[in-house]
Amino acid sequence: MGKPKMHALEDGDTLARGRQSWFGRVLYRGLWLVVYVLIKCLFRLRVEGKENLPDGPFILSAAHRSFADTPIVAVITWKRLRFMGKESLWDSRLLGTFLTVMGGFAVRRGAADRTALRAASDVLALGEPLVMFPEGTRQVGDRLDRDLVLDGPAFVAARAGVPIVPVGLGGTPSALPIGSLIPRPAKVVAIIGEPIQPPPKVAGKVPRRAIRELTEVLYRDLSDLFVEARVAAGDEAPPTD
How would you class 72 by CB atoms within 10 Å of its CB: exposed for 0-12, middle for 13-18, buried for 19 or more?
buried
Rounded distance between C-alpha atoms, residue 74 and residue 36, angstroms: 9
* Residues 169 and 48: beta-carbon distance below 8 Å: no
C-alpha to C-alpha distance for 158 and 236, rounded to whole angstroms: 34
Enumerate domains of the chain plus CATH numbers. 44-232 (3.40.1130.10)
Residue 18 pLDDT more than 80? no
Q: What is the pLDDT of residues 176-188, one digit of tens each?
A: 988 888 999 999 9
Element (H, E) at 14: helix 14-18
At residue 72, does pLDDT exceed 80? yes
SS3 state at 194: coil
Stretch 79-93: mean pLDDT, rounded? 82
Per-residue pLDDT reduced to its tens digit, 95-109 = 888 888 888 877 765
pTM (two decimals): 0.85
Q: Which residue has the higher pLDDT, 189 or 6?
A: 189
For residue 52, what is the DSSP state?
G
